[in-house]
Homo-oligomer: A and B are copies of this chain.
Amino acid sequence: MLEKILELVGNRQFSAVRAMLADANIVDVAELFESLDEADAVVVFRLLPKEKAADVFSYMSKEIQKRIVEGITDVELSGIVQDLFIDDAVDFIEEMPANVVRRVLSNTNHETRALINRFLQYKEDSAGSLMTIEFVGLKKEMTVADAFSTIRKTGPDKETIYTCYVMDDRRKLEGIVTVKDLLLSDSAALVGDIMDTKVIFVSTDDDKEEIAGLFQKYDFLSLPVVDKERRLVGIITIDDAVEVLQQENTEDFEIMAAVTPSEAPYLKTSVFSHAKHRVVWLMLLMLSATFSGAILAKFETAFQVLPSLVTFLPMLMDTGGNCGAQASTLVIRGLALGEIRGKDFLKVWWKEIRVAMLVGLVLALINIIRTWLIYDHNLLLAVAVSMSLFITVMIAKSVGCLLPIAAKQLRLDPAIMASPLITTMVDACALMVYFSIAKLVLHI
Write the residues of chain A forming the contact surface with B, with a CB cutoff of 8 angstroms.
Answer: 23-25, 27, 148, 151-152, 155-156, 161-162, 179-180, 183-184, 198, 200, 215-219, 221, 238-239, 242-243, 245-246, 249-250, 252-254, 256-259, 265-267, 271-272, 274-275, 278-279, 281-283, 285-287, 289-290, 292-294, 296-297, 300, 303-304, 307-308, 310-315, 317-319, 321-323, 325-326, 328-334, 337, 339-340, 344, 347-348, 351, 354-355, 358-359, 362-363, 366-367, 370, 374, 419-420, 423-424, 427-428, 431
Say yes or no: B285 contacts A319, CB within 8 Å: yes
Partner of A331, one of B184, B215, B266, B286: B266
Residue of B nearest to A334 (CB): B266
Say yes or no: A219 contacts B239, CB within 8 Å: yes
Say yes or no: A314 contacts B296, CB within 8 Å: yes
Say yes or no: A179 contacts B200, CB within 8 Å: no
Say yes or no: B271 contacts A358, CB within 8 Å: yes
* A284 CB, min distance to chain B CBs, angstroms: 10
Contact flag A162-B184 (CB < 8 Å), given A253-B329, A282-B319: no
Say yes or no: B319 contacts A267, CB within 8 Å: no
Partner of A242, one of B24, B216, B314, B326: B216
In the assembly, what is the distance between CA of A400 and CA of B344, in Å?
35
In the assembly, what is the distance between CA of A156 and CA of B185, in Å?
11
Contacting residues, chain B, for A326 (C-beta < 8 A):
257-259, 278, 282
Say yes or no: B317 contacts A307, CB within 8 Å: no
Residue of B nearest to A330 (CB): B266
23 contacts between A and B (CB under 8 A): A216-B242, A238-B242, A246-B337, A253-B253, A257-B328, A258-B326, A267-B339, A271-B355, A278-B326, A278-B355, A279-B363, A282-B319, A286-B319, A286-B363, A287-B366, A289-B318, A290-B315, A292-B318, A293-B312, A296-B311, A297-B311, A300-B307, A318-B427
Contacting residues, chain B, for A428 (C-beta < 8 A):
314
Q: A257-B326, A293-B311 are in contact. List 5 more A-B contacts (CB 8 A).
A: A216-B246, A254-B333, A257-B329, A259-B329, A265-B334
* A117 CB, min distance to chain B CBs, angstroms: 27
Residue of B nearest to A419 (CB): B419
Contacting residues, chain B, for A362 (C-beta < 8 A):
275, 279, 283
Residue of B nearest to A297 (CB): B311
Say yes or no: A317 contacts B317, CB within 8 Å: yes
* A21 CB, min distance to chain B CBs, angstroms: 12
Contacting residues, chain B, for A246 (C-beta < 8 A):
216, 245, 337
Contact flag A267-B313 (CB < 8 Å), given A253-B333, A303-B307: no
In the assembly, what is the distance between CA of A198 and CA of B23, in Å?
8
Say yes or no: A183 contacts B318, CB within 8 Å: no
* A129 CB, min distance to chain B CBs, angstroms: 18
In the assembly, what is the distance between CA of A274 and CA of B330, in Å?
10
Contacting residues, chain B, for A354 (C-beta < 8 A):
271
Say yes or no: B348 contacts A266, CB within 8 Å: yes
In the assembly, what is the distance between CA of A82 and CA of B394, in Å?
50
* A32 CB, min distance to chain B CBs, angstroms: 14
In the assembly, what is the distance between CA of A292 and CA of B319, in Å?
13
Residue of B nearest to A300 (CB): B307
Residue of B nearest to A240 (CB): B219
Residue of B nearest to A292 (CB): B314
